[in-house]
Amino acid sequence: MGKPVLPDGLVVVVKRDCETCRTVVPVLQQLAAGPGITVYTQDDPDFPGDPAAVHDADLGVSWHHEIETVPTLISVENGTEVDRTVGWLRTAWEALTGIEGLGPDLPTMRPGCGSKSVDPDLIDELRVRHGGSILQARRIEVADAEDDIEMMFTRGWTDGLPVVPPTEARVMAMLDGTTRSPDEIVATVPPDLVDVTVEKVAIAAVMAGCKPEFMPWVLTAVEAVCNDEFNMHGLLATTMPVSPVIVCSGPGTRRIGMNSGINAMGQGNRANSTIGRALQLVVRNVGGGRPGEVDRATHGNPGKVGFCFAEDDVTSPYGTLAGQFGIDDGVDAITVFAGEGPHCIVDQLSRTPESLANSLAHQLQAMHHHKLVIAFDAILVMGPEHARVFAEAGWDRDRILFELHSRLTTPAAELARGADGITEGVPAGLEGDLPKFTPTGLMLAYAGGGAGLFSMLIAGWANGAKGSTPVTRAVRY
């Protein structure tokens, strides 16, 4: 539908649910008796009654003519607006109409009310109805008697939890969260190697429950996992219980309300929960990565629904994980890591950095299996109370990592297959001391509540060319 043409002369847009609009009815009657006026009413078709009004039932007139406040008085010549005023201000109405003595019994001025066409509950639907859709995705018709949420379960579009129906209005609102064009290709998504556009990512973000301001983070996460370096296809195909872990940092995490403190890796925070979920829905619904098909995890883990959290980079004594990979302080960034669900490390008694380093090293050595070394990476998410022990001793990130690595070497003979009566282990015949991790295979992050002498271990999948390498990206808005 094209833009409705306003009739020449004076035009006013009002609604009954506006005290100022009701106040200016005598003025409208004055104008109707003189030069004449066309009245559009947004809500009650019988308002103001005298003069009679045209009911702007679908708000097309209000939307196309950008009515933000009612009453709005407009002067039209040859179908073109030449002037307008909003609310009630006697001098402004008299100047626009050329008539003196309007509303002599009314207050001199009174502010207007918000137009229905900018109502936050209506604006997305109005944009679809009157603005024309820019979306290219295939439409799915749902019968009136059909439950759309159950339909999406039936068609296999969910991760086992209900998803939000991605209506055109919701998807277009989601696209407002990024400056990127809806038809821009974000990545080629494994395992089916399907190109995904910004629009398709927005659909997944709606289904996951994201807010528009989360979109840049979701887009960046999709880019970060869909490449040979991260190896999302291999991550799906492995029988290990791993999935993308998204670690976020920067001032943008606070702007969108991410949780880096109490229960940072748990439930209850919309941004944390839905950003990771949106990524997984892209991989599932666009890339075809479904459990029991390409996804072959023996047990899986709850993080496969979505695993995303923020670091507390404001109080961190050693910066951020993104900083470990070269991202400058103050830059919004994510690091994606092929990891399991978090495992709690408890040490309630260590008050020296040496004791705590020994304690953490014992837990790290046992990751996956104490006799398996070098093949797996890990993220150690330090809680504030553990981090404080190191900070008070002056240990920075490099020192902490150096001290942990130095405690994580074991004679090859003790790790060999058959040693200690355990068949698992490294091949026999290796000599010297073997490290648990490669020089860059142990990473530090910082998150969690201020109380509790705990840290969290996120164990990784196979590293290197046959596995996955962590990928860090600055967030692109």
Can you give the pLDDT at residue 351? Answer: 97
Can you give the pLDDT at residue 332? Answer: 98
Can you give the pLDDT at residue 228? Answer: 96
> Distance of CA 84 to CAs 27, 91, 311, Å?
16, 13, 50
Q: What is the pTM of this model?
A: 0.85
Reading the block at residue 303, the tokens are 């993080």
> What does the DSSP assignment read for 38-52?
EEEESS-TTSS-SS-
Can you give the pLDDT at residue 382? Answer: 97
Cβ-count burial 225-243 (b if 16+ within 10 Å, e if not): bbeeebbbbbbbebebbbb
Question: What gap in Å lies between CA 211 and CA 275, rounded to an integer?
Answer: 9
Can you give the pLDDT at residue 142? Answer: 87
pLDDT-flagged residues of the chain (< 50): none
CB of 435 within 8 A of CB of 321?
no
Bond prior to 191 in cis (omega within 30° of 0): yes
Domains and CATH numbers, the chain: 9-119 (3.40.30.10), 151-474 (no CATH)
